[in-house]
Structure 1
């Protein structure tokens, strides 16, 4: 019983520290995002999860949801402007459950033909471990065009 209590305390402590780190990072991301929006004079809408988006063209075609397969043309960059990924003009095809959470949530905000920008906090991107040329805890910017819902 004594070891169970010690294990419980350790697990609770680690969990509590992780939650505090996540909350601190979310606040830092929000500041970065707000500064980016102000600097670029964007009219961005918050979704409540930390994701912000802009609509250049709403689109008039089919809608999609998190379970959809879509074809999207995109350019991904950091808030510094450094491009880390870009599709061919004809776009890339993927299932929305196979991508970062910011895309799973953000792409369905547009209809086919829709264009805009997703501003994704690190928790909905690659998080504290980054990926490739994307640093740890990076806010990600994606200019997107939803070409087709398949």
Structure 2
């Protein structure tokens, strides 16, 4: 009886994870790229800002050039930052200098920070696919454009 119950449970699991063709279902991934691009360009226009756009859809503005070295993906970076949404909601902010390994941060930071020099600062407009994608993270809704104001203090 016990073996029958285990077999039934396993069968139920596979049936619930498959579609009519018997193939396992993969959660649907939503592409926010077009929506995010529109949101970023409207935000920039509304706030009379001019940003550089990369091939991945990241937009950035270097507000202070800096004079030091540029980080690589293998660098530890010390920064101050403020993260917000396009509606102005601040979702995270450093109150002191914080150090991170760049390779452990979201793709938007990994792409943008090597464009900065030590002592430099700027603003990143990160589409969802370079941020948290379709996942809701704490108080950040799924598919959100992330705005980060960053000051790169040191590169180690």
Name structure 1 gaps, 5 residues minimum.
1-5
Aligned partner of 2:101 in structure 1 is 95
Alignment of 1:111-122 (within 5 A): 111-122=117-128
Alignment of 1:1-150 (within 5 A): 18=29, 21-22=30-31, 25-88=32-95, 90-150=96-156
Instruction: State the Cα distance separating 1:108 from its structure 2 match.
Output: 1.1
**What root-mean-square deviation, in Å, do the aligned CA atoms of Structure 1 and Structure 2 show?**
1.7
Residues in 2 aligned to 1:126 and 1:143: alpha-carbon distance in whole angstroms: 17
Higher helix proportion: 1
Structure of greater Rg: 2
Length-normalised TM-score, structure 2: 0.81
Moved beyond 3 Å, runs of 4+: none
Name structure 2 gaps, 5 residues minimum.
1-20
Instruction: State the Cα distance separating 1:107 from its structure 2 match.
Output: 1.1
Length-normalised TM-score, structure 1: 0.84
Instruction: State the Cα distance separating 1:130 from its structure 2 match.
Output: 2.1
